[in-house]
Structure 1
Amino acid sequence: MGKRQLTTSRHSALSGDLHAPRTARSFVRTAIADWTPEALPAEITERLTHDATLLVSELVTNAVVHAGTTVELYCRLVAGETEGEEFASLVVEVSDDHPMRPLLPGDANTYATHGRGLQLVAAIAESWGISYHRDLKTVWFRLPIRSPGDLEVPVPAPRVEQLFQ
């Protein structure tokens, strides 16, 4: 069977200040709105937009707070077919110029008011990861874009105490 793929991407350089998360959310919303007609065979939903803007806000906030550098934001729509199966996903990458900062999900204590961003990313994204390079750290996530016929099975929400373990 053949393999075909369509990739459309957008890039933005953000200042490393407190306005960056808002700018990133707007950038992702605009990219998704522009790509909505291209997402066939899948359908871009409000839920995907909400999840993507929430997660990009978390990652850009981490970059601003912990790295304090400019932030590079890449957003890609990937759709195609492999071995007869159609797929589509949204991939978002957030890079900063501070590669030595460790990122560890779950370091927050129960009563902390911060430190749960990566736990949120892990809970919502289909997949996510961190890539370290010589002068750069990239944190990325992938959200699936479901086909209209796909049945999305509801997953029970974890109890609050499970989120903070």
Structure 2
Amino acid sequence: MRRSRWWCAGALVCALLLPAARAEDAVIAVVVHPAVDTGRLDAEMLAQIYKRRRLYWRDGARIQPVNLPPDHPLRRRFSVAILGQLPEALDEYWNAQYFHGVLPPHVLASEEAVARFVRATPQAIGYLGHCWLGEGLRVVLTLDAQGRIRPPQAPLPACP
């Protein structure tokens, strides 16, 4: 009986420490197709893009932002850090925008889908965990585990 209590306590400690050990893995990379000319992209401009207040890139091409599903942990962190609200808190905003003919960004099912879409769509912008980065994606901004903006050239942690 005593042995099982210690085992449970050890498992609980491991479960609590595991997310802390993976905090460095939680960098969110905002990515675009390498051909897009974003100019200087900051959090305010990114919020305008994701609220569909900024619709065009510098070259006149229509921006195509994509989101992860509302319950995805990266979407929730991205929404709080960039838009200042959780995804469900934006429902009223999007309901009002709908009557002006403005639709929210498309939702893609996974980080892999975001990576594929952005690679294939020169006007697209999306976000994903930095371990999904690869050829055909250009990082324009990163967010650390606490939602703080990092410069795009800041070194990224190793992927597991």
Fold in common (TM above 0.5): no
Pick the TM interval, shorter chain. Answer: under 0.3
Question: For the pair shown, which has the larger CA radius of gyration, 1 or 2?
Answer: 2
Q: Which has the higher contact order (CA 8 A, sep 6+)?
A: 2
